[in-house]
Amino acid sequence: MSKLFVPLDLSPRRALAVWQRNLKVWSRLAIPSLLGNLADPLIYLLGLGLGLGALLPQVQGVSYISFLATGTVAFSTMNAATFEALYSGFARAHQQKTWEAIMNAPLSLDDVLIGEVLWAATKSLFSGSAILLVITVFGLASWQHALMALPLVLLTGLCFAGIGFIATSLAPGYDFFMYWFTLFISPMAMLCGVFFPLEQLPAFIQGAALVLPLGHAIGAIRPLLLHGEVSGLWLHVLVLLSYALCGVAIARVLMRRRLLR
């Protein structure tokens, strides 16, 4: 059995080459990809925001559509990072042997994994930025606030890319990812205040948002977009960063066990 806990073997330049490879693939499909990433959240935003919003008084002091839109930024960023880490990551790591080919060049597994995590985060940043742009154009948030939110969007992407690769390292096939969505991603959307304020939930469930990463992503991004300031920002940042790092650390051990045995 190979050792599972080995020191980090990272060459930033080589990891960047992996990131560039993925960017190159994405760049030729950038427009359809971005439109695809935008369509889904926009449908929710317009449908729920206008339809449901008409029935609701203000939520937490703002219109329902503003409340929903700011939650959607975090939600879509999470989804974009997760899809990239799970489905596209699986294709490259296992199905089409891209990782195997790259590791025959002078790259370590750490280079490849970290290049991939950074890429998934970058792609989710593109996605999140597109939604921020739409929100700004609709006048739901100021562009200054939207710019300030970009680092938090990137951090959210890093967080879900990092833990997403745990699923990718465990998955025997694409079907496995359904569990990740139904057991983790979808419940989080309900428990972390994307569509309605947490206060609507029983107190013992509200506690879940304190530990779940999406709760912290929304806890930071929503007030920043709506009011330009966040209480307890550093706690949110710390939690998201911890999730990202722990995710990468665990995925690294699991991938090593699977690919370098």
Partner 1 sequence: MPLTVTDLHKSYGATEVVRGISFQLQPGECFALLGPNGAGKTTTLRCVLGHTEPSAGRIELCGLPVPARAREARVRVGVVPQNDSLDPDFTVTENLLVFARYFGIPATAARARVPDLLAFAGLEAKADAKVPTLSGGMKRRLTMARALVANPDLLIMDEPTTGLDPQARHLIWDRLKGLISQGKTLLLTTHFMDEAERLAHRIAILDRGQIIAMGTPREVIAEHIEPQVVEVFGEWAGHEGGAAAWAATHAAQFSSRFEVSGETAFCYVQDADVLLAHLAAQGGLRYLHRPANLEDVFLKLTGREMRDE
Task: Determine if 261 is a binding residue for partner 1 (CB under 8 A).
Answer: yes
Task: Determine if 2 is a binding residue for partner 1 (CB under 8 A).
Answer: yes
3-state secondary structure of 67: helix
| Residue whose pair of structure tokens reads 């792609």 in the numeric block | 123
CB of 79 to partner 1, least distance (A): 22
| CA contacts within 13 A on the Cβ side of 5 | 0
Binding residues among 161-220 for partner 1 as defined by CB under 8 A: none
CB of 2 to partner 1, least distance (A): 4
Choose between 22 and 76: whose C-beta lies nearer to partner 1: 22
Residue 148 tokens, joined: 């300030």
Task: Determine if 30 is a binding residue for partner 1 (CB under 8 A).
Answer: no
Task: Determine if 7 is a binding residue for partner 1 (CB under 8 A).
Answer: no
Choose between 9 and 229: whose C-beta lies nearer to partner 1: 9
Binding residues among 69-128 for partner 1 as defined by CB under 8 A: 96-98, 100-108
Q: How many residues bind partner 1 (CB under 8 A)?
A: 28
Q: Which residues contact 87 (CB under 8 A, 6 or more apart)?
A: 174, 177
Of 158, 162, 213, 165, nearest in space to 191 by CA: 213
Beta-carbon neighbour count of residue 55 at 10 Å?
A: 7
Beta-carbon neighbour count of residue 45 at 10 Å?
A: 23
Contacts to partner 1 by CB under 8 A:
1-3, 9, 11, 13-14, 17-18, 20-21, 24-25, 96-98, 100-108, 259-261
